[in-house]
């Protein structure tokens, strides 16, 4: 049992006049729903694919970020160690030069003591200055 069509257009009237069966309301609704389901299925598939692609992109980005962060930390650590070594070399050279000046000047005990005080205030060892004062 077929029902009447929702809309009767000129084409539908012509088809009806030619004895071409017109789809009933139920069949039209079912056809439209099938098309909508197909469209929604495509949309859901597209969104799922897009989400998976996004997840993979995010994972790659995290890995790149971590690798770059490790590289930056390693580089910074190497620079800090390099400058620490340069600073220690420079302070060792200064101590040697100061001790040599005391010896060259034939310095007095007062010069050696003031030299020792400067090293103590900077947190350096007093051994070099005391040795310099004793050797004179």
Is the pTM higher than 0.85? no
Residues 6+ apart with CB under 8 A from 12: 5, 22
Query: Is the separation of the CB atoms in 37 and 15 below 8 Å?
Result: no
pLDDT tens sequence across 77-97: 999 999 888 888 877 777 777
**What are 5-34's pLDDT values in tens digits?**
455 566 666 655 555 555 567 888 899 999
DSSP H or E stretch at residue 119:
helix 109-121
Rg (CA), the chain: 46
State the maximum Cα–Cα separation within the chain, in Å, rounded to a whole number. Answer: 132
Q: Computed from CA positions of residues 115, 117, 123, 126, in that sequence, does the dihedral angle turn out positive or negative?
A: positive
119, two tokens: 């090293």
């Amino acid at each position: 049992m077929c029902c009447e069509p929702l809309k009767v257009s000129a084409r539908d009237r012509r088809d009806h006049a030619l004895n071409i069966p017109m789809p009933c309301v139920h069949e039209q609704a079912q056809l439209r729903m099938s098309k909508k389901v197909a469209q929604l299925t495509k949309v859901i598939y597209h969104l799922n694919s897009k989400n998976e692609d996004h997840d993979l992109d995010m994972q790659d980005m995290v890995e790149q970020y971590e690798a770059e962060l490790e590289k930056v930390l390693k580089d910074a650590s190497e620079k800090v160690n390099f400058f620490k070594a340069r600073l220690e070399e420079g302070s060792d050279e200064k101590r040697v030069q100061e001790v040599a000046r005391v010896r060259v000047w034939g310095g007095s005990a007062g010069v050696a003591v003031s030299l020792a005080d400067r090293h103590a205030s900077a947190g350096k060892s007093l051994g070099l200055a005391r040795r310099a004062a004793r050797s004179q």
